[in-house]
Amino acid sequence: MEGLFFYWLSWIGWTWATFIMDKKNPARIKIAIWLLAVIMTAPYKVNVFMYEIHLSAFAIGFFLFAETKRMRAGAFLYSFISAFIIMLAYTSFLLFELFDPVWVLFDRKIMIAAAGVYLTLLLQKTYYNRGISLISGLLQGEILFSTILQKYNFPYSVSSLAFLDILIISLAMLLTWSAIETLIVTMSGNPINHIEGEEHKTS
């Protein structure tokens, strides 16, 4: 069932951000509002030029715009390059899957999410930039893949429930890895400057 992972993990994330997360954390309200907005807009879609786009894409895009506009030029450029690489990887995977699905050995959602998270970890060092690059890269990959298919008159909905499954699984994997990373650093007694979020640096 498409969207099962998305709704399940998103509601868990929203509950965590709303009721469990430290109320002094400035990211708490933003995470809760963003997750709720994506959940509410996920079922609806509109036609924009040649694209069929679910409204969740606009909720995700607005979040990305609000976050990246506060970045310094250098940080924005590097995040853009990172997202571009993730976009190419995501689109390449979907194209290979379309023309030669035999090599997809197990659940495609897990494979795509794992590949995206792996690239994100290679490209970015901070929690904040990892999340921004991953979300942006996957969404741009959706749009690029839809553009390619439109040239051959193949219908494809941008930001469908299948995509949102991949996105939320990717974020869950990234969060799990970051938690393990923090635990290891804390146990070793070293400072965690190299993996702290950069949100306060971008304003």
Q: What domain count does the chain have? A: 1
Q: CA-CA distance, 163 to 170, in Å (whole number)?
A: 11
The encoded tokens of residue 28 equal: 């708490």
Strand blocks (E) in 81-164 = 157-158
pLDDT of residue 152: 87
CB 164 within 8 A of CB 113: no
pLDDT of residue 158: 94
Q: Interhelix angle for 73-99 vs 108-123, to 10°?
A: 150
Its domain, for residue 13, covers 4-201
Q: CA-CA distance, 32 to 193, in Å (whole number)?
A: 26
pLDDT profile of the chain (203 residues), mean per 10: 92 94 88 95 91 94 92 92 97 91 84 95 93 96 94 90 96 94 83 47 47
Mode of pairing for the β-strands spanning 157-158 and 51-54: parallel
Give kind and range of the element (H or E) at residue 83.
helix 73-99
The pTM of this model reads 0.88
